[in-house]
């Protein structure tokens, strides 16, 4: 009698696995986490606008620094030139399938053109993507050279043809 119940459980488990239920439940768990965090951030912004926005800016900056530090060894960045400040930004875009161009005039000035926005669906409808973009990329550049001066004269999110970042450093 016990053998039949074990067989039923195995068959039941195998059928659930074949249906992909276990992986679907992980996806649903991630969706629930995302929904909860999205609503929490939205409510925090509604209640505490300036303070919440400052926290989001800082989190984006810190994540940019962390990601850049992880990419620096892969990219073999050893000098803190203007071009090397842009290389982690370029790599992040390339990893997301976004075309870029780096133009380096000298060691102290470089330009990065990005032809699609890598942040257009990040915190969509909650925080303008320029907030995420500006702070994340600033963190990436500062991970390479904390004294880098970052300017963004063109912004895809403001209907320009591409984003353009200019880095100036003092060596």
- Residue 3 above 60 pLDDT? no
- Residue 150 above 60 pLDDT? yes
Class of domain 2-168: alpha beta
- The residues pairing with 90 across neighbouring beta strands, listed in sequence order, are none
Q: What is the pLDDT of residue 107?
A: 83
At 136-147, the pLDDT tens digits run 999 999 999 999
Task: Give the pLDDT mean for 157-167.
Answer: 91
14: CB partners within 8 A, 6+ apart: none
What is the token pair recorded at 165?
Answer: 């970042």
Residue predicted with more confidence, 36 or 86: 86
pTM, two decimals, is 0.77
- Do 56 and 123 meet the contact criterion of CB atoms below 8 Å apart? yes
At 49-85, the pLDDT tens digits run 878 889 999 999 999 999 999 998 889 998 899 999 9
The span from the CA of 132 to the CA of 130, in Å, is: 5
End-to-end CA distance of the chain: 80
Residue extents of the structural domains in the chain = 2-168
If you average pLDDT over every residue of the chain, what do you get?
85
- Residue 88 above 70 pLDDT? yes
Using a 10 angstrom Cβ sphere, with 0-12 exposed, 13-18 middle and 19 or more buried, the burial of residue 73 is exposed
CB atoms within 10 A of CB 4: 8
The span from the CA of 130 to the CA of 155, in Å, is: 8
């Amino acid at each position: 009698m016990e053998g039949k119940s074990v067989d039923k459980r195995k068959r039941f488990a195998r059928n659930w696995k074949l249906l992909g239920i276990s992986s679907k439940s992980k996806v649903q768990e991630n969706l629930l986490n995302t929904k909860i965090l999205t609503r929490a951030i939205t409510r925090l912004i509604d209640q505490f606008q300036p303070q919440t926005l400052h926290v989001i800016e800082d989190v984006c900056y810190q994540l940019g620094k962390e990601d850049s530090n992880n990419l620096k060894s892969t990219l073999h960045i050893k000098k803190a030139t203007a071009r090397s400040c842009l290389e982690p930004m370029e790599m992040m875009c390339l990893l997301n399938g976004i075309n870029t161009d780096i133009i380096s005039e000298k060691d102290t000035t470089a330009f990065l053109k990005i032809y699609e926005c890598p942040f257009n669906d990040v915190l969509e409808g909650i925080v303008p993507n320029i907030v995420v973009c500006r702070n994340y990329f600033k963190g990436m550049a500062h991970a390479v050279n904390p004294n880098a001066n970052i300017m963004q004269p063109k912004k895809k999110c403001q209907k320009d043809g591409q984003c353009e970042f200019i880095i100036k450093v003092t060596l």
